[in-house]
Amino acid sequence: MEYILIIIAAVFVSNIVLNQFLGICPFIGVSSKVETAIGMTGAVTFVMVIATLVTYLIYYSVLVPLDIVYMRTITFILVIASLVQLVEIILKKISPPLYQALGIFLPLITTNCAVLGVAVLAVQKDFSLLESTVYAIGNAIGFGLALITFSGIREQLDLLKVPKRMKGVPIAFIVAGLMALAFMGFAGIV
Amino acid sequence: MELLWKVKKPSDMNQWKNFSKGFIKENAVFALFLGLCPTLGVTTSAVNGLGMGLATTFVLVMSNLVVSLVKNFIPDKVRIPAFIVIIATFVTVVELVMKGYVPALFDALGLFIPLIVVNCLVLGRAEAFASKNTIWSSLVDGAGMGLGFTMALTVLGAVRELLGSGAFFGMKLISGDGMLLFILPPGAFIALGYLIVLANMIKEKTS
Amino acid sequence: MAKKESTFLSMVATLIMVTLVAAGLLGSVFALTKEPIRLAELKKKNEAIQVVVPGFDNEPSQEVKRMFVDGDSLYLYTARKGEEILGTAVETFTNMGFSGEFKLMVGFSPDGTIIDIAVIKHAETPGLGDKMEKGKSDFSVQFMGKHPESFNLAVRKDRGDVDAITASTITSRAYCDAVTRAYGAFMESQKAE
């Protein structure tokens, strides 16, 4: 039951993008088409879940016992960067068309603050290994939900008459604000 | 030998233009749309925005400096991981120093301090500028972009604080609360959206 | 600018070098900031204790008892004036907050009466839940001088005696949860003596 609550909280109540402000760069940058949004979500989910798992293990089995917790930022980001490289290599081998489709978005996952953010939060919240993994999965779903919904709206927005100065990024932010407002309605269900 | 020469000889670049581009024309937030996570996440007050901006500027200047110093010694294929380690080092320095000397600000900025390492502005400048330019130019670029970023964050923070809590840099101007929406997530997006429009208008007028 | 050749050896060597230098630099910065960090955290703690059990002249953080309750730790600090025990400050927590966990410092006088309560750390909604902070509303004032045996630590909606913060029932409930937990630990520690 606990795990279901973790997921609901991560997806709706404290949505990683609309409430915690993590993953904004891809949120704005990759959301002009639903297709690319879906591809990005898949890649991010993979990296986020594995990264959280690996960094969690390293934190508790190496950093804490050796009292070098201050190395957390460096080790975590190195794990993420390596994982992204690994994903690129694996994807190139087993599915070249998918690799082509994702293109430049793959290396960009390294700088996705949501991935590093979730890894750090999982450790800060004193979760167990299983709870951290569930938390990561939940946040990946939340990221995907926000990103894909947003890109759907943006695709429609392109067809509407928007004041010239607001076209593109400004109106996107206003819409994001309204989405965030809507998500605030989930507050209190957990 | 070559490195020394590059330090002594004044660069051909117009350093004033190099420095000032970060303020309006190539402002990290309003023009390049980089570093958006902390921009939205910590700007509930002007002081928080200012603190975050300065911390990021420190990391940006230091990492630009070091990257420009060692750019000829790092093999091409590992340059991104190497840059990341360099940046992460300075981020950790900032973390430790803030924790010890300005703990209140450290608590307020929270998670976003370690997240400076994935601020696309910092890695972006290292890759796009510092790895290809002289040490002095990189330093100036870092300072300009960083201070421009700081200005954007402080402005957004001041706007949100003014509208949301009726305060200016901590001094309350009205009793009670303002339009709370602005210190909550939706308000961050909306305020930033309108500020970008404003920035675009200023850019048009000055070019 | 010529790019340096990326042989396997040069790549690995460079990364190892960079990481070692980084680790070395950070190790020294860590050593330098260890003391200021410790002092800053101590100061924060002492300030909270000063608010809830004012007037002590000892070092409460030196007289601390740690208790494991509900999967986390509570800390009980003894505040003295001279030989006499002024009160006990209990650092408590709740996980039922609107935005997750937050921490309170509750000051109890030796007979169990609540002296005062301060919020140590929270992420509650500004303008709503954050009204539980002293100075932002009268919410915390109603607890002062009350004894948990006669003052039911639950919000009125839950048939208690606590007036919740308007539109912030969740935060108010969580606050009561934290205070109740603190009182439970306080009673436990009194029994042990």
How far apart are alpha carbons B84 and B123 in whole angstroms?
A: 7
Note the Cα C94 to chain centre separation in Å.
Answer: 10
Evaluate whether B81 touches B144 at the Cβ level (below 8 Å).
Answer: no
Record the tokens describing residue A12, joined without a space.
Answer: 């709706």
Are the beta carbons of A188 and C170 separated by less than 8 Å?
Answer: yes
- Residue C1 banded pLDDT, cuts 50, 70, 90: very low
Evaluate whether C128 touches C154 at the Cβ level (below 8 Å).
Answer: no
Q: Which of A5, A63, A71 to mutate to test the interface with C (most CBs of C within 10 A)?
A: A71
How close is the nearest chain A Cα to the Cα of B4, in Å? 30
Number of cross-chain residue pairs from B and C with Cβ atoms under 8 Å apart: 81
How far apart are alpha carbons A160 and C35 in whole angstroms?
A: 59
Average pLDDT value for residue range C63-71: 83
Which are the contacts of B157, defined by CB distance < 8 A and separation ≥ 6? Answer: B42, B43, B44, B45, B46, B47, B48, B49, B50
User: Residues of chain C with pLDDT > 90: what percent?
Assistant: 17
Which residues 10-69 in chain B show a CB within 8 A of chain A?
Answer: 33-34, 36-41
How far apart are alpha carbons A16 and C186 in whole angstroms?
A: 38
How close is the nearest chain B Cα to the Cα of C119, in Å? 14
3 state DSSP class of A65: coil
* Residue with tokens 């409930």, as numbered in its chain: C173
SS (H, E, C) chain B: CHHHHHHHCCCCCCHHHHHHCCCCCCCCCCCCCCCHHHHHHCCCCHHHHHHHHHHHHHHHHHHHHHHHHHCCCCEHHHHHHHHHHHHHHHHHHHHHHHHHHCHHHHHHHHHHCHHHHHCHHHHHHHHHHHCCCCHHHHHHHHHHHHHHHHHHHHHHHHHHHHHHHCEECCEECCCCCCCHHHHCHHHHHHHHHHHHHHHHHHHHHHC
Threshold 0.90, pTM exceeds:
no
Contacts of C102 in chain B (CB under 8 A): none
Contacts of C99 in chain A (CB under 8 A): 14
How close is the nearest chain A Cα to the Cα of C95, in Å? 10
Contacts of B190 in chain A (CB under 8 A): 173-174, 177
pLDDT per residue as tens digits for the range B11-51: 567 888 888 888 888 888 888 888 888 898 888 888 999 99
Q: Which residues share a beta bridge with C72?
A: C69
Q: Beta strand B167-168 with C72-81: parallel, antiparallel or unpaired?
A: unpaired
Record the tokens describing residue B30, joined without a space.
Answer: 């309003």
C172, C174, C180, C185: CA torsion to nearest 10: -140
Of B73, B96, B180, which is closest to C126 when you measure between CB atoms? Answer: B180
Average pLDDT value for residue range B153-166: 89
Evaluate whether A90 touches A99 at the Cβ level (below 8 Å).
Answer: no
- Residue C2 banded pLDDT, cuts 50, 70, 90: very low
Evaluate whether B203 touches B31 at the Cβ level (below 8 Å).
Answer: yes
pLDDT for res B143 = 92
ipTM over 0.90: no
Evaluate whether B185 touches B192 at the Cβ level (below 8 Å).
Answer: no
The reply to whether C28 touches chain B by the CB within 8 Å rule is no
Record the tokens describing residue A151, joined without a space.
Answer: 């890109």
Of C4, C25, C30, which is closest to B75 when you measure between CB atoms? Answer: C4
Contacts of B55 in chain A (CB under 8 A): none
**Quick one: CA dihedral B145, B146, B149, B150, positive or negative?**
negative
Q: Which H helix or E strand runs over A48?
A: helix A34-58
- The answer on pLDDT for A168 being more than 90 is no
pLDDT for res B12 = 64
The reply to whether A5 touches chain B by the CB within 8 Å rule is no
Record the tokens describing residue B118, joined without a space.
Answer: 């994935």
Instruction: Name chain B's partners: 3 or more CB pairs within 8 A.
Output: A, C
In degrees rounded to 5, what are phi and psi of residue B114? -60, -25
Are the beta carbons of C125 and B85 separated by less than 8 Å?
Answer: no
Search chain A and give the residue with CA nearest B115: A113
Q: Which of B56, B89, B111 to mutate to test the interface with A (most CBs of A within 10 A)?
A: B111
Record the tokens describing residue B197, joined without a space.
Answer: 């429009």
The reply to whether C174 touches chain A by the CB within 8 Å rule is no
- Residue A137 banded pLDDT, cuts 50, 70, 90: very high
Evaluate whether C88 touches C77 at the Cβ level (below 8 Å).
Answer: yes
CB neighbours of residue B111 within 10 Å: 19
Evaluate whether A16 touches A22 at the Cβ level (below 8 Å).
Answer: yes
Contacts of C4 in chain B (CB under 8 A): 72-76
Q: Which residues share a beta bridge with C87?
A: C79
3 state DSSP class of C155: strand
Of C19, C30, C72, which is closest to A70 when you measure between CB atoms? Answer: C30
Q: Which residues share a beta bridge with B171?
A: B168
pLDDT for res B49 = 92
Are the beta carbons of B33 and A181 separated by less than 8 Å?
Answer: no
Lowest-pLDDT choice from A72-76, B31-35, B170-174, C80-84: B170-174
Contacts of A20 in chain B (CB under 8 A): 41
pLDDT for res B11 = 58
Helices (H), A103-168: 105-108, 113-124, 129-157
User: Residues of chain A with pLDDT > 70: what percent?
Assistant: 98
How close is the nearest chain B Cα to the Cα of C4, in Å? 5
